[in-house]
Homo-oligomer: A and B are copies of this chain.
Amino acid sequence: MKIMIIGGVAAGMSAATRLRRLDEHAEIVVLERGEYVSYANCGLPYHIAGTIAEREKLLVASPEYLRQTFNLDLRLQHEVIAIDPQQKTVTIKTPQQPTPIQERYDKLLIAVGSQALQLPIPGSDLPQIHTVRTIPDVDQINQLLADGAGHAVVIGAGYIGLETIEALQQRGLTVELVELAKQVLPLFDHEMVSEVADLLQQHGVKLHLGASAQRFVPTNQQIAVHLSDGRQIKTDLVIMAVGVRPASQLAQTAGLTLGERGGIAVNQHLQTSDPAIYAAGDVIEVQDTVLQQPALIALAGPANRQGRIVAEHMLGRSSRYHSSQGTAIVKVHTTTCAMTGASEKSLQRAQRAYHKIYLHPNDHAGYYPDAQPMHLKLLFAPADGRILGAQIVGGAGVDKRIDVLATAIRAKMSVHDLTELELAYAPPYGSAKDPINMAGFLASNLLDGTVKFWYAEEYPAITEHALIVDVRNPDEYAAWHIPEAINLPLAELRTAIPSLKAQAEGRPIRLHCMVGMRSYIAYRILRQSGFTNVATLAGGALTLKAFGH
C-alpha cells in the first residue's frame, strides 16, 4: 500500500511515524512544501526572543533521522498543487523539475495546516511585514533585528501576538500593539484579561485596542502604520498575528467537501468526503466538545493526536477522533492565561444557557511562602451543573488547574464532581480545599440555591434601588469602596441586623467584599434573618475592578 502525506509537521509527521510503527512494509511518502519538517511551530516566538537560542533545537527531528528510523520517503520542497480523487493521483511541483509530475496514492492524508491571515489593505506586501508561522519567517525577522530594527508594531493580541511582543522586547525593541477587539487575548472573556492589558502597559507596550490597521505606507527605511483611529505609527517591523485560516483550497479544488467554517469536513475517522483521503490538523473542521458544533481549532496537541488516529484507521483499526475543546495557555511575563471549553461569549453566541462563578484562590496554602493568587472563572450548565468552560489567569498553578478542568470537561463532569476530586495536597502544592474543590463548592451552592449572586457587569444599574453593603473591614473600606456602599464589617453583622433592617427600608441588599468569601457568609446570615432580596457580588471587588470599575 502506498500512502501519501501532504505536510510534514505536526499531524503529518505524527501520522507518518505511527504508520511506520504499525506497518513496516507500507510505502510512506511525505511531501513537504517547505524546507523543514517536524519543527516546533510553538517555539518560534521563543527563538526570536533568544530563549531558545539554537535554531537546531526547533527541529524536533531531522529529515535524516526520520528517513533512517522510520524508513520514510521524505521529500522537501515538494508542493502538491492538485489532487485527483478519481485517478487517486497528486500533482507535485518541485524547484528542480520544470513541469509538475503526477504520482499515484492508495491512501492520502492532507495535513497542510493553516495559513496566517493577511490583512487585505494597501502596503501589506511590504518587506518589513511578517507573520510568525515558519522557520523562514523567523529567519527574516531575526535579520531585520540584526539590521537594527528598534521599533515594532504587532497586529493581533492573540497567543502568537503576545508571545512575539515579549520576544521583541527581550531583543530590545519598543513595541506597540494594535488589536481590533477592545481587549487582549480575544478568545478570553474581557474581564479575565483586563489585568493582562495592564501588565503589558507596565512593561512598556503601547496598546491600541479597538483599532485596526488601515494601510501601510513606506517612509524612508520605515513604514507608517495608519490606524482606524487616525493615528500613525512609524515602525521598523510589523508582525501580523491576526489569526489563521485552514489551508483548504487544495481540498476544495479537488472537489472535497468543506465544512460551514471553511475547514475540510471529516468524519470521526478523519476521512474526507472521499474515503481514501483523510485530513488532519489545522486544516479540518472539528466538533466542539462543549458546544457540539463545527469549530476550527488550530492547536498542536489535537493535530498530533489526529495524525495518529489517521494512521490507525488507514491500517484498519477503528480509531476515532471525538472532538476538540480549545484548551490553550499562554505565558505573558510571569502571568499565565489559560482556558478550556466554552467562554461566556461563545456560549452567548451559541445561545446556550449557563451559570458563571468567579473566585480568586491561592495556588497553594497561604501559610506556606510564595503563595500566588489566581483568578478563576467557571461556566456550567444551569440544568445539571455540567462544566462548560473555564478560564484562569494568575501565576503558579494555573496550568495545573486548567488541565484538571480540561480533564473534567472531557469526562463530562458536573460541578458536584469537582467538590469530590481528591487532588494532591501538601503545603507547597495546594490547599486541603483545592481551588478546584472551591469552585465546585461555590458552583454547587449557586445551583442548589444556597447563594444568589449579583454580577459586576450589572453594576451600577442593578444596584440603583438597592442598598450596597460592603462587609469588609473599615480600613479596607477607607482605602477603596463603591461610592454608594455602606460599610458593615462581617464580624458586626449579626448585632447590626435590626439597624440594617431599618436602613434598608425594604430595599434589596447587594453585598460585597474583596473576593466574595465574607459576603457569601453575610448572605447566608441575612437570608436566614428575614431579608428576602439579598445577593452577593460574584468574585467580589476584584472582579468588579476587572470589569473596569
Using a CB–CB cutoff of 8 Å, the interface residues on chain A facing chain B are 10, 20-25, 40, 42-43, 46, 51-52, 57-58, 60, 65, 68-71, 159, 163, 289, 299-305, 308, 322, 324-331, 336, 338, 340, 365-369, 399-400, 402-404, 406-408, 410-411, 413, 417, 419-430, 432-434, 437, 441, 450, 490-491, 494, 520-521, 524-525, 528-529
CB-CB nearest in chain B for A411: B411
Q: How far is the CB of A43 from chain B (nearest CB, A)?
A: 5
Partner of A432, one of B300, B365, B450: B300
Cβ–Cβ < 8 Å partners of A404 in chain B:
403-404, 407
Q: Closest Cβ of chain B: how far from A310's Cβ, in Å?
A: 14
8 more A-B residue pairs beyond the given contacts A163-B426, A301-B425, A325-B422, with a C-beta to C-beta distance below 8 A: A40-B427, A71-B494, A308-B441, A324-B422, A328-B425, A403-B404, A406-B423, A410-B420
- When chains A and B are docked, how far (Å) is the Cα of A534 from the Cα of B423? 39
Which residues of B sit under 8 angstroms from A25, Cβ to Cβ? 528
Instruction: Closest B residue to A428 by CB, please name it.
Output: B331
CA of A228 to CA of B344, assembled, Å: 64
What are the residues of chain B within 8 A of A308 when measuring CB–CB? 419, 441
Interface core residue of A21, A70, A403 (most chain B CB under 10 Å): A403
Within 8 Å CB of A69, what residues of B?
Answer: 490-491, 521
CB distance from A154 to the nearest CB of B (A): 17
Q: List 17 A-B contacts (CB under 8 A).
A: A20-B524, A21-B524, A22-B450, A25-B528, A42-B365, A42-B432, A52-B367, A69-B490, A300-B425, A301-B433, A305-B420, A324-B422, A325-B422, A326-B422, A340-B424, A399-B400, A410-B420
Pairwise interchain contact A51-B327, C-beta atoms closer than 8 A: no
A24's contact among B324, B407, B422, B529, by CB below 8 Å, is which?
B529
The 8 closest A-B pairs by CB, nearest first: A411-B411, A24-B528, A329-B424, A300-B432, A400-B400, A57-B367, A21-B524, A407-B407
B529 touches A427 (CB 8 A): no
Are A43 and B528 in touch, CB under 8 angstroms? Answer: no
B411 in contact with A525 (CB, 8 Å) = no
| Contact partners of A426 in chain B: CB under 8 A | 42, 159, 163, 328-331
Residues of B within 8 A of A10 (CB): 432
Do B21 and A322 have beta carbons less than 8 Å apart? no
Docked pose: A490 CA to B66 CA in angstroms: 12
| Contact status A22-B524, CB under 8 Å | yes
Given the known interface contacts A52-B368, A69-B521, the answer about A43 and B432 at a Cβ–Cβ threshold of 8 Å is no
- A422 contacts which chain B residues (CB < 8 A)? 289, 299, 301-302, 324-327, 340, 406, 410
Q: Which residue of B lies closest to A25 (CB)?
A: B528
Contacts of A322 in B (CB 8 A): 420
List B contacts of A20 (CB < 8 A): 524
Kindly identify which residue among B326, B424, B491 contacts A338, using a CB–CB cutoff of 8 Å. B424
Smallest Cβ-Cβ distance to A329: which chain B residue:
B424
Which residue of chain B has its CB nearest to the CB of A317?
B448
Chain B nearest CB from A61 CB (Å) reads: 11
Closest to A528 in B: B24
Give the shortest distance, in Å, between A422 (CB) and chain B (any CB): 5
A260 to B35, CA, bound (A): 67
In the complex, chain B residues whose CB is within 8 Å of the CB of A305: 419-420, 433, 437
Chain B residues whose CB sits within 8 angstroms of the CB of A429 once the complex forms: 329, 331, 336, 399
In the complex, which of the residues A406, A407, A437 has the most CB atoms of chain B within 10 Å of its own CB atom? A407
Q: Name which of A43, A301, A525 has the most chain B CB atoms within 10 A of its CB.
A: A301
A302 / chain B contacts, CB cutoff of 8 Å:
422
Collect the chain B residues with CB atoms within 8 Å of residue A417's CB: 410-411
CA distance A450 to B51 in the complex (A): 38
Docked-complex contact A46 and B424, CB < 8 angstroms: no
Task: Find chain B residues with CB under 8 A from A524 CB.
Answer: 20-22, 24
Determine if A46 and B368 form an interchain contact, defined as CB atoms under 8 angstroms apart. Answer: yes
Tell me whether A43 and B368 are in contact in the complex, defined as CB-CB below 8 angstroms, given that A23-B528, A24-B529, A491-B69 are known contacts. Answer: yes
Q: Which residue of B lies closest to A392 (CB)?
A: B424
Query: Which of chain B's residues have a CB closer than 8 A to the CB of A22?
Result: 450, 524
| Distance of A195 Cα from B200 Cα, bound (Å) | 42
Chain B residues with Cβ below 8 Å from A70 are 521
In the bound complex, what is the Cα–Cα distance between A417 and B525 (angstroms)?
44
